[in-house]
């Protein structure tokens, strides 16, 4: 699956190389994802905390395409783009009831004190970094003339996306609630850098557009395959609490589906 889009792109190169200048079309486009949704996952030690939102904020995308006119209304060619997706902050929280749960607190003065805990509130914060993509693809465009100078067109893209994401800072804060617990003794904090790695994957889309002379506008659906791997060390704080939490998955699917609005120019 990973090789086929690249093979298609390479096979289209001789067609473009042997075409006359008059048969070549060059397009530049700028767009934004008016709807962008990801597969949900969380970097978390909390089994029952809320999942991060699965949508991404809109951002600017850039594309460059070169096509060859097979007929008066059919074009085939290659394209490359840059898709930047913005992340958002996430806060998760979970409460653990600990009625009559005893925690041993030692100090140099009195040896050992026993505290009664009513509950433990665990809070985590981190930024959900979305990935940026550089898609390389084969494109097929079919034009449907309406009136002089105005064409309706349908186009499809198929290729491979190279994906990348930044690491994120993970903050974990636990608070012990009880009448004998005094701040800051009842609070512990853990901070970690979570390194992420993105796998590249299949990229495809279909779009409907209108072209007036050299100006064009289109709306399309686009899909990007990706998998994200991350490594978050186990926490050593509040061991009795954390032993109840499940282990973290190290790798998960992270596909994106987007509705993209673009405008462009044909040279």
Residue 98: what pLDDT? Answer: 53
What is the C-alpha separation between 16 and 93, in angstroms, rounded?
56
In a domain, 180, yes or no: no
- Domain residue limits at 73: 19-87+131-166+197-266
User: How many domains does the chain divide into?
Assistant: 1
- Residue 132: which of 158, 161, 153 has the closest Cα? 161
Task: Give the tokens for residue 80.
Answer: 């490359």
Residue 256: what pLDDT? Answer: 93
In a domain, 31, yes or no: yes
* pLDDT surpassing 80 at residue 61: yes
In a domain, 159, yes or no: yes
Which residues, listed in sequence order, are joined to residue 257 by a DSSP beta bridge?
37, 223
Residue showing tokens 């992340």: 87
Under the banding of pLDDT at 50, 70 and 90, the label for residue 99 is: very low
Classify residue 124 as exposed, middle or buried by CB count within 10 Å of its CB (0-12, 13-18, 19+).
Answer: buried
Q: Are 193 and 169 in contact (CB under 8 A)?
A: yes
Residue 228: what pLDDT? Answer: 87
* pLDDT surpassing 60 at residue 182: no
In a domain, 113, yes or no: no
Q: Which of 20-24, 77-81, 108-112, 119-123 has the lowest mean pLDDT?
A: 108-112
Cα four-point dihedral sign 96, 99, 100, 106: positive
- Residue 45: which of 10, 93, 101 has the closest Cα? 93
Residue 162: what pLDDT? Answer: 97
Summarised one tens digit per residue, pLDDT across range 106-160 is: 343 333 344 556 677 777 777 878 889 999 999 999 999 998 889 999 999 999 9
Which residues, listed in sequence order, are joined to residue 138 by a DSSP beta bridge?
78, 158
E strand map for 201-244:
201-212, 215-224, 227-231
Summarised one tens digit per residue, pLDDT across range 189-216 is: 777 777 788 899 999 999 999 999 999 9
What is the C-alpha separation between 157 and 203, in angstroms, rounded?
8
In a domain, 23, yes or no: yes
- pLDDT > 90 fraction of the chain, expressed in percent and rounded: 39
In a domain, 136, yes or no: yes
Residue 237: what pLDDT? Answer: 44
Residue 16: what pLDDT? Answer: 47
In a domain, 125, yes or no: no
Average pLDDT score, the chain: 77
What is the C-alpha separation between 186 and 117, in angstroms, rounded?
10
What is the C-alpha separation between 192 and 61, in angstroms, rounded?
32
In a domain, 58, yes or no: yes
What is the C-alpha separation between 107 and 38, in angstroms, rounded?
49
The structure's pTM equals 0.74
Under the banding of pLDDT at 50, 70 and 90, the label for residue 50 is: low
Q: Which of 102-106, 122-126, 251-255 has the lowest mean pLDDT?
A: 102-106
Under the banding of pLDDT at 50, 70 and 90, the label for residue 31 is: very high
DSSP state of 43: -
């Amino acid at each position: 699956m990973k090789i086929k889009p690249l093979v298609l792109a390479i096979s289209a190169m001789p067609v473009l190389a042997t075409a006359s200048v008059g048969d070549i079309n060059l397009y530049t486009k700028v767009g934004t994802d008016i709807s962008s949704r990801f597969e949900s996952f969380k970097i978390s030690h909390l089994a029952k905390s809320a999942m991060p939102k699965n949508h991404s904020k809109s951002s600017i995308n850039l594309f460059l395409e070169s096509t060859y006119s097979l007929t008066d209304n059919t074009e085939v060619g290659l394209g490359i783009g840059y898709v930047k997706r913005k992340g958002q902050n996430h806060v998760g929280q979970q409460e653990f009831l600990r009625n009559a749960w005893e925690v041993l607190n030692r100090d140099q003065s009195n040896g050992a004190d026993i505290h009664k805990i009513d509950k433990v509130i665990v809070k985590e914060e981190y930024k959900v970094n979305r990935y940026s993509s550089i898609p390389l693809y084969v494109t097929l465009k079919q034009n449907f003339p309406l009136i002089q100078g105005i064409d309706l067109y349908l186009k499809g893209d198929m290729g491979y996306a190279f994906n990348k994401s930044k690491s994120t800072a993970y903050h974990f804060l636990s608070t012990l609630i009880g009448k004998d617990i005094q701040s800051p003794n009842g609070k512990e904090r853990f901070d970690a850098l979570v390194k992420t790695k993105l796998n590249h994957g299949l990229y495809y889309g279909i779009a409907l557009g209108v072209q007036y002379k050299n100006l064009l506008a289109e709306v399309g659906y686009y899909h990007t395959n990706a998998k994200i791997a991350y490594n978050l060390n186990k926490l050593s704080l509040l061991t009795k609490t954390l032993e109840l939490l499940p282990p973290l998955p190290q790798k998960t699917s992270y596909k994106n589906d987007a509705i993209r609005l673009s405008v462009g120019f044909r040279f």
